[in-house]
Each structure stands twice: as structure tokens, then as C-alpha cells.
Structure 1
């Protein structure tokens, strides 16, 4: 980054001996990816620390910025502006995190200010949330009994107030006093304050996401021989010198006890006086995981994820930064938790796509960021999954990661039996239901035995599309090139990409025909069909539509855990991590939803989903079984999933990836041009291609071409895919090519460019 002035002339005169500061300003407009030089005011001279958040004038506004360090001198011929002040409620960011932000910006072709935004809750950065303070009273009387006796019958409520304050220890929050003594005590409080019997003050109040939750401490279970061997491997890496530590990949079948290994590893790190971060991929996993962590470590656990309120997130962030906790559990953004002295980073279900940030930029992958943070801080990275990402398992096979295997479930419980049902045969037999005969029979037996079942379908809504039988057109979103989904509950069509809604048509909008047919099934229809077939069964649905409200994830899972629900229907949020001992049946209503996507990860994604959801069955004393419905029962990924055979799947898939030069044998950069005018998008995409060619990009350039989702949220989309073996060289060449032609490649200001390094999907 190059040093620049503080955006504007007319600042204060620079005196001899003045201090100058380099500040990364929180603005991501083109041309602002650099450090700006500001004058340090006398009031802050000698007080600034690198990593401190400041307010600075920028143009005609005041912006938030990060003080990076001192500048040796002021730019010549420029009138500098002064730093306006500190953000007092936000402590300095640890130096390794600032380094991590720089690395993230470089690795994912982002700006440094955009990467810095990852280090702070967005509401705090925008100064929309602060520490919550409340009124509190302190008793200021030497002899309370004497004063109470003196007040006697003359002022009984004042006497009652003073007696209460003495009974609660001499201090109480105003809200608690009013709750315990009634609103009418406000008058006596006023008198007591005037007479000096009470002293009012403001105290900080934590917005506790665990408020009201009871946690019963649980002792650690006895480890299986496999678990003990795995833990010994982790211990060896923890005590190794930082430069010689290998990341550990725990490849453990579902139910093999990976979480217990995480807890034991964290206990070891805490004994070393260091902190731990544990990432989970879904909010739905957080309640169960946090419960287990708090049962083991109590108040040492903080949580960071998107379901927290702004206040809760800010207060948890502050607890972490102040060192009040030693463990953080959270979603991908928790990889930037403001800990110092991190000794262990765990990524549970490390294969999950939700660890990849899509927008806003930088489009980072938490697994790669965690690896870099572990390197910077001398920490150990531990990855865990029953279905590791191909990239991770390839690194383990080539010796970069240390591979630890758990091939058996705890207590040697058997893996569930898996049956692939050919839905083409069901149609030939005259069964047009969304449930096969095998699944209905299994549901009959499960409910009769008073056991629980999970039904998985990775589509929400009632019908997945509405088709005109006359012209063959599906009803599409006006803003996206995708079919709209019918939702029965609200009786409307919805686009699951842009959230546009529309009434259900009675005639085809294209040809006017009344031959409209609802086709395809989503979770809403599965739920309705279950209620029709089993009117006495208690059914719950868990998808985006039923979990919008805060706490809804935890509420549904609590009902299921308490046996208040017999059958849980859901999308991918129910496929992993959930551990319910009474679930003996899992039904995959349609395994083909992800198999036919035009994406090179389609087979891997399908194998992972089916294997993970199958692993929810048979985790208790009773054996489990899985019914997988599909129109492609001979597909290699489904056959491998049916056998719980990751090695078979890996061997097949890795050959395909190597032949076509896909990850893990190449890195990719996905460039997407989008705009409201298709011609301008096409012209700009061609210009970007020419820019890369003329700039000497050394890898492959595929495209430009229309993206698989050619229109999204009202914008036309064309894309290019870049391939190469050295991601550092690739990103440097792309950055240099764009820098050399700053802005001139854009044929219209309305055309936007998004950059995704090592994309999880190229849709």
C-alpha cells in the first residue's frame, strides 16, 4: 500500500516535532485501497497504539479508520488533516489479526479496508451499538436499622426501600428494585436520592445470549481406544515446536466421537494458558455444540454467530477481547475472534460450503484463513469431518496434514443400513407419491415403535415450479432466470434468490392457457403429506421459512430432543452434527437435487449430504436405517454413500478432478460481470478477457460466457474462470492487470465485477 494524504487541503499547520499517522480508512471506493497520512493532534500524541480504531475526516465526512502505525514524514506540499479522536469503546485489534486482514485482502483479491471490516462487528464499526449501561443504586447509610426505626410509621415505604437495599447487599439495579417493590416505589427512591441515603450510578449490563439457560456440568466420558490414539496424535502436534506442527485432519465416521476430541484438545490448550476457537458451519448446530462446551467449561465459553442480536454480538466480542473467556464457538466469522494467544483452532464439519463467504467481499474461506491465523500465532489447526473436502483429504494423503482416522462409532454401534430406492421403478409400479413404498413401510414401523425419524429434502416450499402444459414454460422470476417456488402457507410464488413474490397465476402469462400444473416437491409439501398419512404423528419442519425468528432453531431442536416431535422434516440444516439417540430412521426424499447442477462439485456435494444425513440414524442403543430415494441409483457418489465408503468416493472423484484440472490439482478464480444492460455486460466481459491476455496472465482463461444463472436479481451475468497451479502468482497477475488499466476496462459504470478466489460453486 502506498502512503497518501488525509483527503483534503486546508488542515492545521504542521509544527516542528509533529507526529504523523498512517490510517486505513473504512471506505472501499475505487482508488482508496491505500494508507492515508494524518496529523496526530496534541491530545493523542504518544497515546496511539497500532490496531487502534480512530475517527478521521475524509472528504466532507467523518469516517472510522484503523491506525496502522506512525508515518516517518508528511507528504510534501499537502495540508494534512488531524485525527478527530478515538473510538473509546473499541479496544485495539491484536497485531496478528491486522496481519491476517492484510493476508486475506491479498489472498482473495480484496481491499485492505474491506478485510479490516471482518475484525469488528458491523454495528460497532458503524457506531450503531454501544455498551449497555443501566441505572443502579448504592445504599449510603451508616446505620440502616436506626434510620428505618426513625422513619417508622411516618414514611413506611421509605423504610421498606432502605430495608430492601440492606437485604440485597447494598446495591441493586433500578429495574430490579421496581420489579420487587412495585412502580410506586419511584417516589421514595427520589426522596432517598435527595437525602443522600441512596447514590445513583450507571453500570455496564451484559446482553447475555445464554440468559435463562440452565447447564448441568457433565464429566468427560471414557475414550475408546481409537479416540485415545487420535488424542495422542493431537497432543504430539500441540507440544511440537510451532514451525514443525502439522494441521490435523480427523476423518471420523458419523457418531465416532469427534466432538469429545475437540473438548479434550481444548482442555489441553487451556492448561498451556492459551485460547481456543471452534467453528461450526450452521447456526442450527450451535445450540447443541454450545451446550456441550458449556457443560464442560462453564462460563469460559463465548459465542459468535449471526443469530445473536447486535447488542449480544458486541458484548460477546468485548468479553473475548478483554480476555474474560478462553473459548469461542461460532460460525465462519469467529475465525477473526479478537483473541490474543490463540493455541488451537478447530473447524467442525470442515467440508461445509457455508465456511465460504460469498458477499460482501472478501470472499474468504474460513478454513484457509484459519490455517494462516494458526501459522501467524503458532497455533494448531484441527479439522474434522466424516466426509472431508477433497482438497483437505488430498493434503492429508500427500503429507501436508496429519491424518487421524476414527473408523468406528462410539460403543461399536453399527453404521445404519442404507437402501437406494429407484423412483423410476416406483412410477412403473403406479406409485406417484413423493414417498416410495419402502419409505412408507419404514415410517409405519418407526412410528409404531415410538421411535423418531428425520426426512431430508434440500428444497423448501411446496412445489418447486409451476408449468404450463400447453407451451411448456415454467413461471419464472421477473428478476432472475430461475423458476419460482410455490409456498402453500402464504399461497404465493417466491424466488429463493431475490425474495421476489408473486400471486399464483390462473392462466399462463405467456400463452394464456389455463393448463397450469404444480410440479416438484419441497419441504412444505413433505410436511403436509406426512400429516395426511399420519394424522396422529407430531411433525415439525426446519428450513429457512420456519427459522427466521431468533431462537427458532434451538426451539425446534429442543422439542425434537424432548420427544415432542416424531418426525423432523428439513433441508441441509438437519444433515450434520445433530445427535438424537431415538432417531432410527432417516429418509432422503430425493437425492438428485444437487446431483444435476452444472457444477464440478455436484457429485461431492451429493455424497456429503447423503452421508451426513444418513449419519443421524442409529446413534443410540437401537440400530438405524436409511432410505435414499433417487432416479439415479447407479450413480457412483450414491453407491459410495450407501456403503459409507469415503475412500471409494475419493478414489473415483479425484481421478475425474485430475483429468479435468479441477481442485485440488488447480486453483480457480471466478470473475462475474453483472449489469442491467446485457450488451454492456457482454462488452465488459470481453474487455476483461483482453485485459488479462494483454497483462500476461500465465494460467488458463475460460470464457467469457453467460453464467449458469444468466440473470439474477435483475442483472445479467457473464463470467470467466481462471485456472492455475500457484494461487499466489495468479492473484498477483490479476491484481497487476487491473491496476495497469485502472477503471478503463469497465465499458459502463453500471457493470459490476465480483471476484471469487477458489470458489465453492461457479453457478
Structure 2
């Protein structure tokens, strides 16, 4: 703390002069969504965004100073307890952006502010790392003479320490001294300290997420005509400084392998030339090393990275570099949209269609929407990139709200991979019970025989997707969730042959020998996940080198990068994965992509099921043929006539979007209407249903004028998760903010019936599961 609490209070009451300020206190309670007034001395220089410690009831909490406030009449105002010196103030634009997030997504202002600073720093669990070091204390000429004297005395270690310090312009960490000269070099420091030749100092050491690795240089590539057109659109937007004509977002709609990243690099170079900064959002942590590598190769150490896989210390150090203006480019997942850059010139949202840009927990923001608002406020350019844009983005481009630039071909004249559909019903008729069709087995054999690589995609984890009792029909379910348990192979050192695991709450148990419901031993394993794909592939091709990329193989920090790096170096022949392998990865030796089952998302009870299916198939097929050799993709399905699957196989992008938009218009789904979802959770189903019904009754009057539809509450599709029952109700209407206002007026701050029930609000939900 830079100011001690006792000193602040003494100055307040002895001087008799008091100033007042509004503080957003870090509270979780929705009912406390307001600013609180505190007193502070007039000579205490607080700028908006300063973090302070304040008394709140019997606790001391952290808060963000927002600005001055008038003296409250007739109220004894408590003084702040101190200034949190280790936290730099938030920029004013982030405070204003947090207000917008709170209003748009119906969360508290404090919850929105939390998005703007790493949690470890806000909770004061992490600080800058201090390391012990030594530096020269005497003039350099005197030290040089001391080196010669030490050599004459045969004090060689002392001479080497001094010579090392003479080589460096500043202090040297003790760990580096020991690493270069050996641990015994520390013994040589004492006589040098006693003679005043050197001194001990403390340095701030950066926790480098890149591990000190330098990026290899990147050769600048010539642009195709389509890429030049895309870059020209960005340059026109950057040059348009008319404050009365807001810049339209730019959609780079390029087929897979069309070189969108090259356009990004060139566009950011233009931004940096203007003295501005850029943020690049990627949808998956697994993509971050690859993307960061491209940007660091071009722009060096002026690139920072922000994502949840960093340690708290690494994340804090990167945030501080950004806040201090030491970087020009920030690359990260959705939370990086709140990076504290102050000279924002551009935000790029790569693979803008991905669901991971939508946060499911409070605040339920969408990074693409926040990026657009932040660019609007800063006068910056928003660039969206995708081969399969979100339906809402495509519709806005059709209406002219977004400028669309098409990259219709791959770079270097490479052809798009032909996509072949395999009807798995025919495989069953031919008595092929394998998850690999005969055609996919042949293709894999040919690919491996030529020394090329393959990617196999299945968007399910585990070995079997569920375990069924054939006597009573019961699927063995999680005791905490209303979902079937997934069968997994044993982990290292586990004696049991298989285990059942819940992918929602983490519950695990051995596979029972008899049915828990009826006691029958007629247990059957059904369905397939990535573990089964790996096991069957190893049986079919025992000499193939296989890697698997899914949640189970990437729990350890750095595992994403290790697996992808090994595959990129050619240390494996086949990469098996879930949706992680469908997003933006670029491997030049991959000539075959196999979609093991395209049906996994098509039948979900969700209005985005067709869109998600089309995007996944198109994206994963696009991983093939990105190098010198042509590629191909095989799509296995039991539903060859499904419109989304058929359109993806044909490569009919325009036809898919036209059909999907027509269907959504008839059904009243986004972009023609919007949703607000209220979710009620609690340990007792009856209490949850009671709360949901009370909320419905409170909201009904707001739907009487036809401005919105208030749907009857009912069980959520996933009715029980982590021991909590789940009911929901949906509001649907053309005006999202009108629905938000209705929920705020009817329910925020109101106590609903139902013991132990919590309500959460998802504005613009990506899914209604």
C-alpha cells in the first residue's frame, strides 16, 4: 500500500478537509450493484481507475475509484483504507467499456470491471517477481584494475565475476552468475561486496510465457490479387478519420488456406506505422502458440500473449507490459479484448464464428460484440476473419452493415481438397462394424504409404460415449448430472480396465459388472470417442505414429504446443482430435482429413445445430492439402441427406447460408430475433420450478404489447448438472435491450421464492442447452 490507513484517517479528521469519491466495490451480490461513496484527503491524488482498499461492513475489500462525488447530506462517510499501489490504474476507456458491458449483458458494474484485470492481481495473489542480483558499485576503471589485481593474486573466480559485470551494462541476477560461473561463484561475492566493488540489488524479473525462446525470422510474402484487395479495404478504413461516419467492420471471408493471416500481418504493420496498437483474438488456446509465433517472427518482442493457460504470474507480467505501453500487439483468447492498450488502432477476430468467443458464465459477453463496441469508441478498425462466418455476420454483410472482402482461392494456386461423402449405412449393410469405413481405411493406407500425414476428427471424447444395460434399457448416468457417463480407457498407473467419467462435473467411477438399476450383467458399450478412434487406428495400422489432441491429453500446461509441435515436425503420422483440430491449424504435410462421424452436432436440440455442423465439416476438411501436395477429405455419416452435411460436402457456402437464413426467419431465430435466457438452479427441483414460475409471472406484463414473447418456463435440456436442478425461461423479441430492460425492471434486486435458488441471465445465448 502506498498510503497507510492510519495516516489517511489522521489526515482526514485533523485537517477538517475532506473530498468524496465514488468507488465500485468488488462485490458479487447483484443487489449491491451501485457505486459507494468514500472520503479521502484532498492532497491524495486519485485518478479514475485507481484501485483502493475500502472498509465494507466488517471487511476490507478492493474497489476501483471512478470519480469525485458530492458530499452526501447527513451521512457519516467512511474513509478509504488505502491505495493499492501495486495495481496500475485502469484506463478510462476500459472503465467506460465495463459500463457498457454491464448494461448490455445485465451484470453488475463490478463484475464487468473484473474482466479488465487479471484475477490473480485483483485478489492480490500475485505480484511482480523480485530476484536478487549484483551490480558494479565502483567506477569501471577501478573495477578493471581490480580484475588485473585479482588475477595476480590468483583469485580467478573474483576476477571472472568482475569481468562478467564489466561486460554487462546493468545488474546481473545471482542465478545467472551461478549458471555461468558455477554455484561456488557465490563465495567470491562476499570479499567483493566488503571492498565496495559490487553491491546487491533487487531486479524485477519477467515471467516469460515464451520461455526466452526467440521466434525465427519470417520472410515477407507477396500477396495475391484477392489479398491485396482485402488489405486495400483495411487501408481505406484506417485512412477514414471522419468522426461522423463510423467505420464499418470488415469481414475477410476467405476459403480455408486463402492466407487470411498474411493479410492480418500486413494490416497490423500499417497500424503500427501510424503509432497505434492492435489486438488479435483467436478462438482456441491451442491456436495461440501458432499465431503468436507468426506475429513474433514478424514483429519481435513487441508482442504479448493473454490466455487462461498462462500461470497467474505470467498473465500478470504480460498485462503489466501491455499497460505500460511496452508492446504493440496483444494476441489472446476472448478475454484479451479487454487488454489495456491505450492507442488502439485495430482489433482482429480470427475465426469469428467460433462459439468460444461467447462466455457462458457471468458476465455472458460475446468477444466479437465487445470488440465491435470497443473499436467504435476508439475509432479503431474491426477486422473479422472466417471461412464459415457466423450466420448473423453473414446476414449483416449481405445488408451492407459489414464490408465483406472475399478470398475465393487458396494461396499459390493450391486447389481446395475434394470432399467425399461416405454413407455409413452402406457399411452396416456390408457387415462392417468398424468406425472406419472401407473407403477411409483405403485412404489412410495410401496416405501413410506415401509418407504423408492425416488428421482424423471426431467431436467426442472418451472410448465409448455411454454404457447401456440391455435388460432394462438403463444408461448408466452421473449421480450429479442428468447425463450418461462416458467410458474412458484407464489412465497411467490405473489398474481397472475402464472407468466411467462425467464430462460436466468430473465424477468418475469404475465400470460396474452389473446394472445398478436391475442387477443384470448384460452390460453393453456403445458409441465412439477419440480414444476408440486411436485404439482402432493402432490395430489397423500398428506401425503408424499416432497423437491425440483433446481435453484429456492437454490438461498439463504446455501440452497443446507439444502435441502440435511434434505433429508439425513430422514426428507423428496421424493426429486424432476433437474440435481443437478444426480451428485454423496449418500443417503442410497433411493430405488426408477423415471426419469419423459428421452427425454428432447435427441432431442437437439447438437452433445452431445445422450452422455448427456445416462449420465444423468445412473447417476440418480445410486442414488438408495446405502444402505442396494436394489433399482430400472423407466425411462419414449416417445422414447423407442432412442439408448442412450435404452443403459442406458440396462446398455450397452461399446455398447453405440462404437456406439457413430462410429457415431462421420463419422460425424467428437470430438474426431476425434475439433471445434472453433466464436460468434457475438449485438443489431441490420443486423450489427451482417455483422460482422460475414466479419470474415468468413477473415478466408477463412486459410481453402484453407484443414487444417480446415470454415463454413458459420448463426444465432445461440438461435438467441437472453438478447436483443442481436447472429450469429456464426464454424471452424472444427483435430488441435485445428492451428485453434486458424488462428483466432489470421486473427481477433485478427482487427476492424470488424458492429456497437456495440462483438466477443467472444470458443475454444473446449462443446455445439454449
Is residue 745 of structure 2 the alignment partner of residue 736 of structure 1?
yes
Report the equivalent of 2:110. 113
2:747 alignment partner, SS class:
helix
Task: State the Cα distance separating 1:17 from its structure 2 match.
Answer: 3.9
Q: For the residues of structure 2 that align with 1:237 and 1:148, how far apart are their CA atoms? A: 61
Indicate the residue corresponding to 1:322 in structure 2.
324
Q: CA offsets, 1:350-395, max 9 Å, x none?
A: 0000000011x11000000011101111111110100000000101
Q: What's the counterpart of residue 465 of structure 2? A: 464
Distance across 1 between alignment mates of 2:163 and 2:390: 64
**Residue 618 (structure 2) pairs with residue 619 (structure 1):** no
Is there any run of 5+ residues in structure 2 with no aligned partner, and where? 1-8, 492-497
- Residues 1:481 and 2:482 aligned together: yes
- SS of the residue aligned with 1:244? coil
Give the 3-state SS of the residue equivalent to 1:119 in structure 2: coil
Look up the match of 2:765: 759
Quote the offset at 1:195 in angstroms.
2.9
Q: Secondary structure of the residue that 2:681 maps to in structure 1?
A: strand
- Whole-Å separation in 2 of the counterparts to 1:362 and 1:615: 34
**8 Å CA contact retained: 2:703, 2:709:** no
Question: Distance between the aligned counterparts of 2:251 and 2:92, measured in 1?
Answer: 28
Q: Secondary structure at the match of 2:572?
A: coil
Output the CA distance in 1 between the equivalents of 2:181 and 2:730: 68
Q: Any idea what the Cα deviations from partners look like across 1:126-171, whole Å, max 9, x if unmatched?
A: 0011111111111223423443454543755434433443344563
Paired residues for 1:503-514 under 5 Å: 503-514=510-521
Which of 496, 507, 514 in structure 2 is aligned with 1:500?
A: 507
Identify the residue that residue 524 of structure 2 maps to in structure 1: 517
Secondary structure of the 2:422 match is: strand
Distance 2:462 2:644 in 1: 26
Secondary structure, counterpart of 1:668 in structure 2 = strand
Alpha-carbon shift at residue 454 of structure 1 (Å) = 0.1
* Equivalent-residue separation in structure 2 for 1:555 and 1:170 (angstroms): 35
1:154-204 Cα offsets, whole Å, 9 max, x none, are 755434433443344563111111222222233331232233221111111
C-alpha separation between the residues in 2 aligned to 1:15 and 1:147? 57
2:562 is the counterpart of 1:555: yes
User: How much does 1:32 deviate?
Assistant: 1.2
Deviations 1:267-317 (A, max 9, x none): 111111111111000011111111111111111211111111111110110
Give the structure 2 partner of residue 34 of structure 1.
34
- 1:138 is matched with which residue? 135
Determine if contact 1:11/1:81 at 8 Å carries over to the other structure.
no
Q: Distance in 2 between matches of 1:171 and 1:123?
A: 29
Quick check: 1:577 aligned with 2:584?
Answer: yes
Residues 738 and 436 of structure 1: is their aligned pair in 2 closer, same or farther, counting only changes over 3 Å?
same
Query: Residue by residue, what CA displacement relative to the aligned partner does 1:665-693 show, whole Å, maximum 9, x if unpaired?
Result: 01100111111101101111100100111
| Cα offset, 1:484, TM superposition | 0.5
Are the aligned partners of 2:12 and 2:18 in contact in 1 as well (CA < 8 Å)?
A: no
Question: In the alignment, what sits opposite 1:4?
Answer: none
Classify the secondary structure of the residue corresponding to 1:545: helix
- Quick one: which of 125, 150, 160 aligns to 1:128? 125
DSSP 3-state at the match of 2:487: strand
Which moved further from structure 2: 129-138 or 157-166? Answer: 157-166
- Find the counterpart in structure 2 of residue 182 from structure 1: 182
Q: 1:199, 1:660 → 2: CA distance? A: 75
What SS is found at the alignment partner of 2:389?
A: coil
Comparing 204-213 and 284-293, the one that deviates more = 204-213
Correspondence for 2:597: 590
Aligned-residue Cα RMSD (Å) equals 1.7
- Structure 2 CA distance for aligned equivalents of residues 166 and 371 of structure 1: 51
- Normalising by structure 1, we get a TM-score of 0.96
- 2:641 corresponds to which residue? 634
Aligned residues: 748
> Residues 227 and 263 of structure 2 are in contact (CA less than 8 Å); yes or no, is this contact kept in structure 1?
yes
Distance 1:444 1:156, change over 3 A: closer
* 2:213 paired residue number: 213
Return 562-571 or 191-200, whichever deviates more.
Answer: 191-200
Is residue 352–residue 390 contact of structure 2 (8 Å, CA) maintained in 1? yes
Instruction: Look up the match of 1:348.
Output: 350
Q: 1:730: Cα distance to partner?
A: 1.3
State whether structure 2 residue 405 is matched by structure 1 residue 404: yes
Seen in structure 2, the aligned counterparts of structure 1 residues 24 and 414 have a Cα distance that, compared at 3 Å, is same
Are the counterparts in 1 of residues 247 and 376 from structure 2 also a CA contact under 8 Å?
no
CA contact (8 A) 1:321 1:339 kept: yes
Scaled by the length of structure 2, the TM-score of the pair is: 0.95
Report if the CA contact (8 A) 2:246-2:376 is conserved.
no
**Is the partner of 2:600 in helix, strand or coil?**
coil
SS at match of 1:230: helix
Q: 1:517 to 1:186 in 2, by over 3 A?
A: same
Q: Does 1:684 align with 2:691?
A: yes
Instruction: Give the Cα–Cα distance (whole angstroms) in 1 for the partners of residues 540 and 247 of structure 2.
Output: 56
Match of 1:533 among 524, 532, 540: 540
Partner residue, 2:268: 266
Find 2:708's aligned residue among 692, 699, 708.
699
Once residues 35 and 168 of structure 1 are traced to their aligned partners in structure 2, the CA distance between those partners, rounded to angstroms, is 51
Judge conservation of contact 1:588–1:629 (CA < 8 Å) in 2: yes
Contact 2:11-2:41 within 8 A present in 1 as well: no
Provide the C-alpha distance between the structure 2 equivalents of 1:723 and 1:56, rounded to a whole number of angstroms: 41
- Secondary structure class of the residue paired with 2:373: helix
Q: Is the 8 A contact 1:704 1:718 kept in 2?
A: yes
Query: Over residues 112-139 of structure 1, what are the superposed CA-to-partner deviations in whole Å (9 max), with x where a residue is unaligned?
Result: 0000000000000000111111111112
Per-residue CA shift, 1:563-611, capped at 9, x if unaligned? 1110000000100211111111000001111111110100000000000
Contact 1:41–1:83 (CA under 8 A) maintained in structure 2: no
Please say if residues 30 and 108 of structure 2, whose CA atoms lie closer than 8 Å, have aligned partners that are also in contact: no
Rate the CA distance shift 1:154–1:247 in 2: closer, same or farther, 3 A.
closer
Secondary structure at the counterpart of residue 535 of structure 1: coil
Q: Deviations over 1:19-52 (max 9, x none)?
A: 101000011214210000000135xx35100111
Residue among 255, 258, 262 paired with 1:256: 258
Give the superposition deviation at 1:319. Answer: 0.6
Looking at structure 1, the residues matched to 359 and 485 of structure 2 have their Cα atoms a distance apart, in angstroms, of 25
Structure 2 counterpart of 1:716: 725
Q: Is the contact made by 1:673 and 1:751 (CA closer than 8 Å) also made in structure 2?
A: yes
User: 2:3 matched to which residue of 1?
Assistant: none
Report the secondary structure of 1:187's partner residue. helix
CA contact (8 A) 2:455 2:576 kept: yes
Q: Do the aligned partners of 1:707 and 1:718 also contact (CA within 8 Å) in 2?
A: yes
Compared CA separation, residues 147 and 263, structure 1 to 2 (3 A) = closer
Residues 523/683 of structure 1: CA separation in 2 closer, same or farther (3 Å cut): same
- What secondary structure sits across from 1:138 in the alignment? strand
Tell me the residue number matched to 2:6: none
Task: Report the equivalent of 1:166.
Answer: 166
- CA distance in 2 between partners of 1:757 and 1:561 (Å): 40
Higher mean C-alpha deviation, range 444-453 or range 402-411: 402-411
Alpha-carbon distance, 1:756 to partner = 0.6
Range that drifts further, 13-22 or 175-184: 13-22
Instruction: Give secondary structure in 2 for the equivalent of 1:703.
Output: coil
Query: 1:466·1:474 contact (CA, 8 Å) conserved in 2?
Result: yes
The answer as to whether partners of 1:251 and 1:405 remain within 8 angstroms in 2 is yes
